[in-house]
Each structure stands twice: as structure tokens, then as C-alpha cells.
Amino acid sequence: MPQKKVTKKPAHRKVAAKKVAKEPKHDVVVPEAAAVAEVVEAKETKPVIHKQRYVSSIGRRKTSQAKIKLWAEGTGEFTVNQRTLEHYFPTLQLQKFATEPLSVMGLLKKVNVVVITRGGGVNSQSQAVGLGIARALLGLDPNMRATMRKSGFLTRDARKKERKKPGLKRARRAPQWQKR
């Protein structure tokens, strides 16, 4: 058997870089330790509470998205895409999907809600609104988590329409088979 020829790779030389003290291009102001701690604490909190005292959150269902703004001090106003709740969600079932977290917690007439929703149909939009409101309520009071978890308001329904497969009529529907 012929022997394999072994070649040695040349060793690379490590070039020592000269250490030069670089001057900063801009004046940098170093904040005090207390200010840095406040910034870190502010980043850790999940709900976004703005200066106008509202909590924002997002709810999703199928291809629908709902952006929620929930004001803590309110009169019970509920607008969806600049329309009233009854006008946007005409049936009682759709209205119930959207407002159930508020009614279970007893806050239906105590908070104002503004919703911007898009995508999907009205059914999935109303369910997305319900999930978004439940998440926003946690921003107001984290002690509501156990009650809302037990009621099932915090569970995101991840079911979506399955994609169509090649050779089939729909995702799983095969063409009708003929014997002759």
C-alpha cells in the first residue's frame, strides 16, 4: 500500500498589536450608580405604563392582532378601530369574547379601553381583544394573575390554518378517488 504524504501547514505568526490609548471621540458623561439602577429596574417591568396612565398590550388569535390601551381611571368607554364596541362587534357573543376579562374582574365600568385591531375575521379579532385586555389588566394589578389564569383568559390559542399541501385540494383534503 502506498503511504500517504503528510505535509505540514506553516505556523501562523501572531503579530502583537501595539497598545495605544485611544481618546474618546465625544465627551461621555458617566451616570451615577443610582441612576443606572433605576434604568435597569425600569427595563425589567413588562407592562408599558405611559405618562397618560394607560397600560398597553397586544393580543393575537389566528392572523388577527389587537393593540390595547387600557386607562385605569375611566368611565367604561370601549372603542374598537374608532367605533363603539356594539358597532364593531355586532353580536353578543363577539362582545362577550372581547369584554369577558373586564366583567369577571368587575372593571367593566371602571376602565376605558381603546383597541386597534387588524387581520383575520371579526371572531378571531374579538378573541384577540380579550387576550390583550387580560394582559393589560395584569399590568394594572399583577395580583389578578391567579384568577385570570384559572378562568383561561391568559392562554394564547395558537391554532392557525394549516398550509395547503401539493397534490391535495386543501391542507389534508385529497382528490376523490375513482376505481375505474
* Per-residue pLDDT tens over the stretch 99-154: 999 999 999 999 999 999 999 999 999 999 999 999 999 999 999 999 999 999 99
Rounded to 10 degrees, the C-alpha dihedral 82/73/57/83 comes to -10
Query: Edge to edge, what strands does the sheet with 54-61 contain?
Result: 48-49, 54-61, 64-71, 112-118, 78-80, 83-84
**Cα 42 from Cα 48, distance rounded (Å):** 10
Give this prediction's pTM: 0.68
